[in-house]
Structure 1
Amino acid sequence: MRMRTKAVLLIVFLSCLAGCGSREPSAQSPQAASSSHADSGEIVLEADSLKLGQIRTAPVVVQAAPWDEFETPGRVELDPNRVSHVLMPVPGRIRQVLVRLGDAVQEGQPLLIIESPEVSAAVAAYRQAQAELRRAQSALSKAERDLSRIRDLFANRAAAQRDVWAAENEVAQAQAAVEQAKAEQEQARHRLELLGISPNEPVQQISVPAPTSGKVLEIAVAAGEFRTDTSTSLMTIADLSHVWITANVPENLIRLVQIGENVEVELAAYPGEVLRGTVRRIADTLDAETRTVKVQTELPNPSGRLRPGMFGRIRHSHGLKPVAAVPPAALVQDNEGAFVYLEKGRGRFQRRRVRAGQPRNGWAPITEGLSPGERVVVDGAILLSGK
């Protein structure tokens, strides 16, 4: 009886041992496979996976890329050195406005017709100055004749020395009066020239000429208005043959740009077209809120197609150097930055973080994370993103 019990227990023990041994491989295999995937960081696709046919890779190449480069948004603005404001030369009534908004004008072209009583007053002042000059010249001529006569009398002992001195004093005073009259006449004549009128044409209407060539950008006056304020702008004329693009460069990048350096400009209105300008001004102060410095670049605009208010970007670098580069399509962005899928072998891929620069000419420079010759996924990266 005891022998039979021992036999039964032995059979049960062997059965349990066999059952545990058969389940051990199946329980360990997934765990081992999962651990291997985590350790390697690879994404593995089966050899017969349809995704392999949709994924395209390309090698990392070497390209010349800019160094010490910055790129920042900008806006086209008027060149403040090429903007003129038209003012009233004298108080008066606007009789006629000769140009319209947007017209192109040449320097000296009449813009307005003004009627003012000060015009005839300026002519009268000039004529009065002329008359005063003639009177002073006549008085000088008489004083010089008197001096000559007194000197003759003095030579013949018929006049005293004090009479000669008195006559000489009269001549000196007459000469001073002539000089003063000439100055007053010149001032009156200059006044007429500023008003654009001739002293021989007594008129009350004058034309206001364009101070510079350019486009009429603003008109703030209408015919019939009476204006007494000679400091208020009536029109704004700007020469658009050159414009500025203003950009706010971050504080930590302002060291990379200097006055007189050339920069590249791309405008949203003309995608793919690179314009070249020259830095004309760097602000002397820093914007405390944005921590940026205003940089203004001059752009040639002979055809007038660069219009104030257009948006774009300015870019500047200090030369080129060879760096690793990939097609921009290889870069995948997330909250932490950019990464690529590196091909490790047939059906084996690895996600790798990179530091990339601004794409140019179909290539994105890689400053950190890749080496030339490695292969990255350039098409189909989305098929690996869920792995």
Structure 2
Amino acid sequence: MRSPVSVIAVALIAMVGAGAGCGRNEQNAPAAAAKPEAAPVAPGIISIAPGSPQLAQIRVEAVKTLDVPTDEVVAPGRVGINPSHSSRVLLPVPGRIASVMARLGDAVEENQPVLTLESPDADGAIGSYRQAEVAERQAQATLVKAEADFQRASDLYEHRAVAQKDLIGAQNDLAQARAAVEAARTSLAQASRRLELLGLRPTDSKPRIVVRAPIGGKVLELNVAPGEYRNDTTAPLMTIANLSTVWMTSEVPETAIRLIRPGERVVITLLAYPGETFAGRVARMADALDPQTRTLKVYVEMANPQGRFRPEMFGTIRHAGALRSLPVIPRSAVVQEYGRAVVFVERAPGQFERRDITLGSAAGSSLPVLTGVQAGDRVVVDGAILLKDR
């Protein structure tokens, strides 16, 4: 039989053990509460408990529709000069550059002198003009005499004072004199035209050939300096371009050629002017593809009244096809999983379904969806990343 003291000791030990057990249960309670609040309840469905801090960070919106292009061409491009509004300045004849009157970047008017040239051809051109001038005067004098001789022969023939052969001879001389005058006038006109092209006058004693700007515009390239002697009349001395219009040259992929045609309007963006868009028109398309890149050169004309577009600027051209009503979602709604575009659709409060989607070309700040969601679906637009790994 146990003594009262033993019974009391056993009771105390039991009470202490029970208290320790209660303490362990209380310590384990927070650990149980710290378990993930989101647990899959069905394939592709994620559940988050009501009142969860994660749920408070998630925002959903109903999917809307927007008219977006069914097909769109987006290609890089580079600004260049309009070839129909540019010209290269060449030497008319070999010679020494006496002076250059235009600098790089200068604006010049059409027919404005841009350089002068000393050349033996200048002396030769003036000499040829003077010879043609003398020949024309001599031909005129011969014609006057021939006309007088013919008139005298005609009068004498009427009075039977000369034979018919004398009249015919005078008539032939007159015809030859008239032909000689026409030939002399042609030679004089050619000599005069050559002086005009060289910027010379017949009275110049120390002639310098004046080279003039073929068009009005800006000097974009300058490859000449005073004192140089140039023999090559095919090498450009300067390039002048009218930049009131410029061309954007782009290379469109072979798969997108069918979507663009000459005369169509395109939208242009330039790296130099972020956030701005500009209008352009397809001026022409190349006849053959680049065999290496499988692209076709497309030339887009842009009006440039303020001179903001400068050659060698980079940008893109964008051409939209027919419009089609499609569901659109914000970019923030899309997450990438193993190369797939995924969104989370709210099925019920705290219940989200993972869906694969197919996206179209971006339409501003929104993304058109070809498959996967439809108008009215409630999609997570903020906090989708919180659901990605669940």
The two structures share one fold, judged by TM-score above 0.5: yes
Aligned counterpart, 2:11? none
Give 2:324's aligned amino acid: K
1:45 lines up with 2:43 in the alignment: no
| Contact 1:328–1:359, Cα closer than 8 Å, also in 2 | no
Partner deviation per Cα, 1:195-230 (whole Å, 9 max, x = no partner): 122223334113211111112111111111011221
1:268 to 264, 271, 289: 271
Partner deviation per Cα, 1:91-143 (whole Å, 9 max, x = no partner): 21111111221222221222112122322321221121111011011111111
Aligned counterpart, 1:25? none
Aligned residues: 352
| Contact 2:248–2:302, Cα closer than 8 Å, also in 1 | yes
Aligned counterpart, 1:214? 217
Aligned counterpart, 2:115? 112
1:192 lines up with 2:195 in the alignment: yes
Alpha carbons of 1:333 and 1:241: their partners in 2 closer, same or farther (altered >3 Å)? farther
Aligned counterpart, 2:280? 277
How far residue 330 of structure 1 moved from its aligned partner, in angstroms, is 1.3
Partner deviation per Cα, 1:152-197 (whole Å, 9 max, x = no partner): 2222222111111111111111111101000000001111111122
| Contact 1:76–1:243, Cα closer than 8 Å, also in 2 | yes
2:128 to 125, 144, 151: 125
Distance across 2 between alignment mates of 1:120 and 1:235: 25
Distance across 2 between alignment mates of 1:337 and 1:254: 28
1:54 lines up with 2:57 in the alignment: yes
Q: After the TM superposition, which residues 67-86 of structure 1 pair with which residues of structure 2 at under 5 Å, given as runs?
A: 67-86=70-89
Aligned counterpart, 1:373? 376
Distance across 2 between alignment mates of 1:248 and 1:339: 32
Q: After the TM superposition, which residues 282-321 of structure 1 pair with which residues of structure 2 at under 5 Å, given as runs?
A: 282-321=285-324
Alpha carbons of 1:333 and 1:314: their partners in 2 closer, same or farther (altered >3 Å)? farther
Q: Unaligned stretches of 5+ in structure 1?
A: 1-35
2:355 to 352, 363, 369: 352
Identify the range of structure 1 (72-81 vs 161-170) with the bigger mean alpha-carbon deviation.
72-81
TM-score (norm: length of structure 1): 0.86
Distance across 1 between alignment mates of 2:143 and 2:279: 67
Distance across 1 between alignment mates of 2:73 and 2:341: 19
| Contact 1:356–1:366, Cα closer than 8 Å, also in 2 | yes
How far residue 321 of structure 1 moved from its aligned partner, in angstroms, is 2.8
Distance across 1 between alignment mates of 2:371 and 2:206: 79
Distance across 2 between alignment mates of 1:204 and 1:353: 82
Distance across 1 between alignment mates of 2:348 and 2:76: 42
Query: What SS does the aligned partner of 2:111 have?
Result: coil
1:236 lines up with 2:208 in the alignment: no
Aligned counterpart, 2:343? 340
Distance across 2 between alignment mates of 1:278 and 1:254: 15
Query: What SS does the aligned partner of 1:384 have?
Result: helix
Identify the range of structure 1 (276-285 vs 204-213) with the bigger mean alpha-carbon deviation.
204-213
Identify the range of structure 1 (182-191 vs 315-324) with the bigger mean alpha-carbon deviation.
315-324
Distance across 2 between alignment mates of 1:331 and 1:301: 39
TM-score (norm: length of structure 2): 0.86
| Contact 1:71–1:314, Cα closer than 8 Å, also in 2 | yes
Give 2:255's aligned amino acid: N
| Contact 2:200–2:207, Cα closer than 8 Å, also in 1 | no
Distance across 2 between alignment mates of 1:76 and 1:343: 48
Distance across 2 between alignment mates of 1:291 and 1:343: 44
How far residue 39 of structure 1 moved from its aligned partner, in angstroms, is 4.9
Q: CA RMSD in A?
A: 1.8
Give 1:134's aligned amino acid: R
| Contact 2:335–2:388, Cα closer than 8 Å, also in 1 | no
Alpha carbons of 1:119 and 1:340: their partners in 2 closer, same or farther (altered >3 Å)? same
How far residue 299 of structure 1 moved from its aligned partner, in angstroms, is 0.8
| Contact 2:200–2:208, Cα closer than 8 Å, also in 1 | no
Q: After the TM superposition, which residues 126-275 of structure 1 pair with which residues of structure 2 at under 5 Å, given as runs?
A: 126-275=129-278
Identify the range of structure 1 (129-138 vs 62-71) with the bigger mean alpha-carbon deviation.
62-71
Alpha carbons of 1:38 and 1:215: their partners in 2 closer, same or farther (altered >3 Å)? farther
Identify the range of structure 1 (59-68 vs 167-176) with the bigger mean alpha-carbon deviation.
59-68
Q: Unaligned stretches of 5+ in structure 2?
A: 1-38
How far residue 38 of structure 1 moved from its aligned partner, in angstroms, is 8.2
1:362 lines up with 2:365 in the alignment: yes
